[in-house]
With several copies, the nearest count.
Chain A
């Protein structure tokens, strides 16, 4: 099933895309599986996801753990820890 991916900040820059539509196989059940599957594409994806401790995710605009299931997800965002606000 097709899912829209969004990339932000350093993840976006490493991959070179702000987003893309993907259609992973059924074995890709959780966000971590999706990331493993993306890393197989090589280069930019390898660099983007090299440090999983600094990877965060949201499914359909809600923060989730990396172990969250993709079932029913329409849009998945992958990004580093947030750094908004000020001072």
Chain B
């Protein structure tokens, strides 16, 4: 049984506290991925919209899939929504496991699947007043596909 922690929140993610929580499970190895808002091309603010009724369920489903696929002591998946500035954290995926490769692979799996399966949409707001929805990328779909049987 893996300890699953899945959160969808407006607030910042306390990465140190989240990783300490997973460390305490005694897994031996702990891998994490943190996504940060990049401030490229004059982007001033990133708006993250989501499907509130669905996001938590999809994220929990992804976490459960990771826990079935690898032997994990724990899995944490946290995704933010709302208005984020450059340098702010968007997402954290983390996995604790006895073996380092299980932790690292589960962490990569989680972030790949979140990108293509979790109902979030990003809109970039630029300093000059323009704004545009971020288009999905085929490279992300390909990254998810590599985990399919």
Q: Which residues of B are found within 8 Å of A81, using beta-carbon distances? A: 135-136
B54 touches A85 (CB 8 A): no
Interface residues on B, range: 35 or more
Q: Which residues of B are found within 8 Å of A63, using beta-carbon distances? A: 117
- By CB atoms of chain B within 10 A, which of A62, A81, A82 has the most? A82
Q: In the complex, which of the residues B57, B115, B134 contacts A61, with contact meaning CB atoms closer than 8 Å?
A: B57
A86 touches B51 (CB 8 A): no
Binary contact readout B97-115 vs A (1 if CB under 8 angstroms, 0 otherwise): 1111001000000010011
- Known: A81-B136, A82-B120; 17 extra A-B contacts, CB below 8 A, are A6-B53, A8-B50, A58-B51, A61-B53, A61-B58, A77-B54, A79-B51, A84-B120, A85-B79, A85-B91, A85-B100, A85-B114, A85-B115, A87-B27, A87-B99, A87-B100, A87-B103
Chain B residues in the interface with A (C-beta under 8 A): 27-29, 35-38, 48-51, 53-54, 57-58, 79, 90-91, 97-100, 103, 111, 114-123, 133-136, 140
